[in-house]
Structure 1
């Protein structure tokens, strides 16, 4: 199976490169640094496998961001474009400030390949109606939502996630057609509406990936804010995902 891990960064600090180097993979997998060239240079990363992207080039392809920069909400566009053009069976996207407190090989090996979208904090509108990004999702110009929005919408937290090749192709088609919004609402919502399997890494979620899965994060470890520091790493619980760990 052709699987790639994409490590997203807009910084070239030595600690970030060491983090990338430490990611061990199952046999036959590959990994690349996916680098925002609007913030740093590909040449900063030496002889590592580096793929650069620019926000303007993605817009020229037809992607519709919600802002003039990749953040907020559009960091999924370079992932989708790279995965689509390279035809991977599955692609993992991991932001540079995600920390796993064990061997990454053990992390990857615990997941089967059943879900088309595997992520964290999957939830429906009714469980979090005040969330700020629900209304960012818009259909192509001149069209209407084909379902009752936003009550049929899903949200997810995506510092780390996995997509199947079929999901990548479907999302790319949707986004180049004109769908837009923060990736934390568009990816899960569009994929579920298109009949794909969406799953959560959390064994306590209604979207859990299977009956025997372990819990690999909590709302205390995977969060938007406050930030963790590198000094906090020594206090982390084993076999857990943490975000954001700032370098």
Structure 2
């Protein structure tokens, strides 16, 4: 299989009429400047239908913002964002665990959207991005959409639980949630709440911080695939599939997982796949 075909421009972009006026920002998070990223941005940018696409570009010493055309909406940031926003980061780098910082920075400077999608550059959807993204416009009451949402008791040995902390507040382990966030959506009001909580002193890996704080705040949380208790109506194994081959680490073997990398021969259905790596990544 030719990997470049993953991001070709031949997908038919369908138009889905919606009865609401909600609009969304689509943020492609990357630190790369290459043809694959450019093609992926073009596909996301063609979704339209109340969606606007941006490249959330992590500027580093070894890269530059170079694209073939000048019509791309670029939102650049550096690791300085980890110190300048008044939040506490875990570690000194964006990864692991701090990818909510650029999302919150974008939200603060662009507060006009109802919903904000963050999509890491190694997420591949083997279908029509327009169908996927517009499907969730009807989920207007859902504040957080993500994958592999679990209660503490379902993954008690997960490494990042204890990164969620505050200098004088405690959330008991049994009240914590985790999620898998290579692609996720947050509502405007959820981002406002998270901003206030982070300003108040909460910190942690975003895959425990976001779902747990939103759960504590009474927000609506749903999973867009798999088989767990948070899976949204009509989404059981719809946008990614659960294949239970390892009870210790449930992400292995699924179409959305931490590792190993997705092989091209696995990409056979209209599902989300992660991580999809390419030559040079």
TM-score (norm 2): 0.80
Q: 2:257 & 2:266 partners in 1: Cα distance?
A: 17
Which residue of the partner structure matches residue 25 of structure 1? 47
Q: 2:118 & 2:42 partners in 1: Cα distance?
A: 15
Q: 1:40 & 1:57 partners in 2: Cα distance?
A: 17
SS of the residue corresponding to residue 42 of structure 1 reads coil
Q: Report which structure shows greater RCO (CA 8 Å, sep ≥6).
A: 1
Deviation of the 1:43 alpha carbon: 4.1
Name structure 1 gaps, 5 residues minimum: none
Please tell me whether residue 52 in structure 1 is matched to residue 43 in structure 2: no
Deviations 1:139-197 (A, max 9, x none): 1x3x121x42x221000000000000000001111112221110010000000101111
Which residue of the partner structure matches residue 63 of structure 2? 40
Name structure 2 gaps, 5 residues minimum: 1-21, 243-253
Which residue of the partner structure matches residue 246 of structure 1? 277
SS of the residue corresponding to residue 107 of structure 1 reads helix
SS of the residue corresponding to residue 245 of structure 1 reads coil
Which residue of the partner structure matches residue 8 of structure 1? 29
User: RMSD value over aligned CA atoms?
Assistant: 1.6
Deviations 1:29-67 (A, max 9, x none): 200000001253234564111100112134122121111
Please tell me whether residue 237 in structure 1 is matched to residue 268 in structure 2: yes
Please tell me whether residue 86 in structure 1 is matched to residue 110 in structure 2: yes
Which residue of the partner structure matches residue 208 of structure 2? 185
SS of the residue corresponding to residue 178 of structure 2 reads strand
Which residue of the partner structure matches residue 164 of structure 2? 137
Partner residue of 1:114 out of 141, 160, 167: 141
Do 1:154 and 1:189's aligned partners in 2 also have CA atoms closer than 8 Å?
yes
Deviation of the 1:201 alpha carbon: 0.5
TM-score (norm 1): 0.91
Sort the Cα spacing of 1:46 and 1:90 in 2 relative to 1 into closer, same or farther, 3 A: same
Partner residue of 2:188 out of 165, 182, 186: 165
Q: Which stretch shows the higher mean deviation, 40-49 or 88-97?
A: 40-49
Do 2:82 and 2:89's aligned partners in 1 also have CA atoms closer than 8 Å?
no
Do 1:12 and 1:45's aligned partners in 2 also have CA atoms closer than 8 Å?
no
SS of the residue corresponding to residue 228 of structure 1 reads coil
SS of the residue corresponding to residue 151 of structure 1 reads helix
Task: Give the number of aligned pairs.
Answer: 239
Do 1:84 and 1:165's aligned partners in 2 also have CA atoms closer than 8 Å?
no
